[in-house]
């Protein structure tokens, strides 16, 4: 099977045929089975070296507003882990190669470029005496470990088994499903940080626990944002991305991403050449 994919911005027209897709806050990558029939003519399809290069650039953070950020790599790992081991065997093998190449490129060229992580950018806007953090995934863990020292955190999640390691930080874990039960409100000045998809009902149920919300930091993609009933200042993901891009441009060597991109192209050519020499498909290629 040859590698073929469609790359589109998040929120664009959905896929027109059944396929496996990886979605991030900014984009969707649709993996096409080129052997199943003709490729769709309505959208540009990247194949082989071009497709591999794009995928590797995305996972390395070279296509992110914040160059070298690591959240997108964590999202790709989660996507790979959710694939069916039997039905998506070829894609899991491909993902292993992408992650190995991304690790090598990051270590060689991008050390320090992801230092302004989304969590650290969000923590710059935390004000008040408490943080109400919604989510328990990789992004929430970034926020948790970057939050100001000594500030207690209420961590809202959906399942107890997903509680992350909190170190020595004072953390109280709360279930989103219990937000409607009317627990006593916390009167501390609180920054709410949304680091996971959540609907309007649950978001406002949590907000009612904090009558003194001083700021809402919303790290969801624009098409996931839902309003909050309280009238508070809001910091959005797009605002943080603009801020992070400015900081990265001011403090980085512009030649480093270019060198990383050149290495991406070299590895993509190696991938395509290896495929051409393997006539028995993905299982042979990845053996």
Can you tell me the distance from the alpha carbon of 57 to that of 48, in angstroms, rounded to the nearest whole number? 14
Q: Does pLDDT of 286 surpass 50?
A: no
- The topology under which CATH files domain 3-113+253-285 is Beta Polymerase; domain 2 (3.30.460)
Q: Does pLDDT of 53 surpass 80?
A: yes
- Which pLDDT value is given to residue 129? 93
Please count the helices (runs of H) and the strands (runs of E) in the chain.
9, 10
Can you tell me the distance from the alpha carbon of 163 to that of 172, in angstroms, rounded to the nearest whole number? 10
Q: What is the CA radius of gyration of the chain?
A: 21
Q: Which CATH superfamily is domain 118-245 in?
A: NAD(P)-binding Rossmann-like Domain (3.40.50.720)
Residue ranges, comma separated, of all CATH 3.40.50.720 domains in the chain are: 118-245
Residues shown for the chain: 287
pLDDT, mean of residues 199-223: 90
Least confident of 90-104, 138-152, 156-170, 256-270: 156-170
Residues whose CB falls within 8 Å of the CB of residue 49, separated by 6 or more in sequence, listed in order: 265, 268, 269, 271, 272
Q: Does pLDDT of 34 surpass 80?
A: no
Torsion, Cα of 107, 109, 112, 114 (10° steps): -90
| Percent of the chain residues topping a pLDDT of 70 | 79
Looking at mean pLDDT, say which of 100-104, 123-127, 175-179 comes out highest.
100-104
Q: Does pLDDT of 167 surpass 80?
A: no
Pick the closest to residue 83 from 21, 164, 132, 10 (CA basis). Answer: 21
Q: Does pLDDT of 107 surpass 60?
A: yes
* Average pLDDT taken over every residue of the chain: 83
pTM for this prediction: 0.70
Give pLDDT tens digits for 150-159.
899 999 998 8
5 neighbors 55 (Cβ within 8 angstroms): yes
Residue ranges, comma separated, of all CATH 3.30.460 domains in the chain are: 3-113+253-285
Better pLDDT: 66 or 216: 216
């Amino acid at each position: 099977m040859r590698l073929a994919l469609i790359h589109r911005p998040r929120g664009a027209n959905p896929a027109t045929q059944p396929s496996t897709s990886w979605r991030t806050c900014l984009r969707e990558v649709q993996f096409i089975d080129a052997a199943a029939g003709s490729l769709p003519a309505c959208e540009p399809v990247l194949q082989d070296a071009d497709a591999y290069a794009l995928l590797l650039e995305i996972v390395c953070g070279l296509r992110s507003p914040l160059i070298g950020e690591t959240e997108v790599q964590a999202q790709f790992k989660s996507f790979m882990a959710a694939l069916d081991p039997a039905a998506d065997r070829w894609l899991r093998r491909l993902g292993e190669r992408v992650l190995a190449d991304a690790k090598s490129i990051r270590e060689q060229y991008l050390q320090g470029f992801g230092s302004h992580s989304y969590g650290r950018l969000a923590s710059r806007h935390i004000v008040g005496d408490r943080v109400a953090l919604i989510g328990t995934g990789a992004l929430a863990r970034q926020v948790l470990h970057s939050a100001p020292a000594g500030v207690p955190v209420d961590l809202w999640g959906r399942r107890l088994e997903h509680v992350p390691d909190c170190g020595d930080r004072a953390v109280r874990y709360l279930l989103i499903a219990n937000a409607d039960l009317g627990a006593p409100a916390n009167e501390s000045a609180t920054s709410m940080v949304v680091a996971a998809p959540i609907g309007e009902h649950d978001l406002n149920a949590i907000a009612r626990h904090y009558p003194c919300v001083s700021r809402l930091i919303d790290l969801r993609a624009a098409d996931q944002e839902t309003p909050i009933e309280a009238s508070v200042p809001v910091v959005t993901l797009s605002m943080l991305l603009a801020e992070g891009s400015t900081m990265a441009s001011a403090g980085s060597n512009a030649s480093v991403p270019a060198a990383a991109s050149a290495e991406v192209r070299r590895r993509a050519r190696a991938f395509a050449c290896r495929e051409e020499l393997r006539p028995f498909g993905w299982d042979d290629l990845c053996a």
